Structure 1
Amino acid sequence: MSLCQLLSILELFHIADGIERARLFSRFFQVVEKNLLLITVIMLEEIQSKPVVCVQLFLWNIMDLLRYPHELLCLMEKPSITMLWTRYTLWIPVYILSAATEGVTIYQALPYVEPKVPESSSSNSTGSSQLHLSFALMFYLPVLALGETTKLVDRHAWVS
């Protein structure tokens, strides 16, 4: 799953080359968001076993299964109205659930990266990295909400 998600960076090149018709900014934000969440899950072994991570990966795959067949048919210049309807109708609840599980995943990761007071007064690199990761995750939650709003607006602009 990690390799597949990291390869999603190629989607940005497809948009830039004109192979795929999408907005670069919103797709860039989506790819970065998913990869950051995936890196967080990989770094924190305690989070990997949480059920919300399994649900998150499942929802990401469902969203891709809704998107890629439609895009492939459009590239082949054989768009299907049924596939278009299915993609955008099922996308709404899956997208909302995916956004919610991303927030829950980050929220559940916070206790595992809480900054710990070092026992010695000397600077500890582990404590410093935990402090930075904790702040990054807390900052990520409002950015997640902003990104989800951006993607919804972008999705509405392409459908209209």
Structure 2
Amino acid sequence: MSDKIAVVYIGDKPSKKDTVTGSRLVFPRHKSVDVESHIAMQLLEFPSVWRRSEELGEVKAQQEALEQAAIEEAERLAAEEARLAEEQSMVVGDRDLAKLTSAQLATLVEGEDLRLDPQGPQEKVGDFRVRVRDAMKAKLAEQEG
């Protein structure tokens, strides 16, 4: 009679069928299954799928650490996207500067008394819009502070 070795499936699915050796054994995730040693040796050649049951604790710890790192990275990326969206937004207060023409922007600068130095007649509308946005944000921050 051959020896048995406890093997654990460590993948993401709830269970895994052994398609490597043809035994068709079913391995529930993170549950120890005793299999014959010659089958276990073949399965253990795939350490990202099967491990010895003694290694389950460290594998779970590694998987949890990877999941936590993925969550933290997703949160960091979401915060970065929100910061970029705010930084690139042309909405100041209740005004959407992206919808204003250069003449309307000039009128707004005059009406809000923003004191923007002219950059010359060749300044692009987009560049002027950014300068107006920054000046309006500075003015709002000054009023709130």
TM range (shorter): under 0.3
What is the TM-score with the length of structure 1 in the denominator? 0.26
Which structure shows the higher strand fraction?
2
Q: Which has the higher contact order (CA 8 A, sep 6+)?
A: 1
Structure number, greater radius of gyration: 2
Structure with greater helix percent: 1
